Amino acid sequence: MRCKDIERLIIDSTWKDLSREELLSIKEHTQQCAQCTLFQSEYKKLRLSLKNNPAPALPEKLDHSTREMCRKALNLQKKSTPTIPRFIWGVLAVLIAISVIMFVPVVTDLRLDEPLSSQELFVLTFLIQNTVMLFFTPILIKNCRAKKKSRLKHF
């Protein structure tokens, strides 16, 4: 193996268990290569010094102000959930009313043993279209608003 491969294995051994073959490769290579032996010992020293040093403490004032800013941002997000405009609900209600008015007479004329007339096909197509619109319109509006907000945040 090349020195670069051995160095990568030495670093990987910190985070995961290596196979026997990989450990044997490291051992054999470091017995023959002074640079990789030095790298392995320096890497171990570095890891130990990082373990022994405590993590730097944040100043209390900075910690407190950061937490407050995060809380405020989370509260604003909760309050600013997008609502669906009333005119959309009005349009959807009109579509439902039209669908019901068109559908009732056609249902009374439907017979399973006869083919559908063009009027019945039109009404069924209209109903399917309205049903899909009623279901997906609120979802599309929320997604559109969320995309606009995310674009505004980037600027």
- Residue 53: DSSP 8-state: S
Domain boundaries, the chain: 3-52, 75-154
- Per residue in 89-117, pLDDT (tens digit) is 788 788 778 877 877 777 676 666 677 77
Q: At 55, phi and psi to the nearest 5?
A: -65, 140
Distances 118 to 98, 99, 105, 121, 126 between C-alpha atoms, Å: 18, 16, 14, 5, 12
Q: Using an 8 Å Cβ cutoff, are 119 and 103 in contact?
A: no
Q: Return the pLDDT at 86.
A: 77
Q: Report yes or no: 40 and 10 within 8 Å, Cβ to Cβ.
A: yes
Q: Give tens-digit pLDDT for 4-50.
A: 998 999 988 888 888 999 989 999 999 999 999 999 999 999 888 88
Specify the pLDDT at position 77.
64
Share of the chain above pLDDT 70, in %: 86
- Give the residue-averaged pLDDT of 50-57: 78
DSSP 114: S
DSSP annotation of 113 reads T
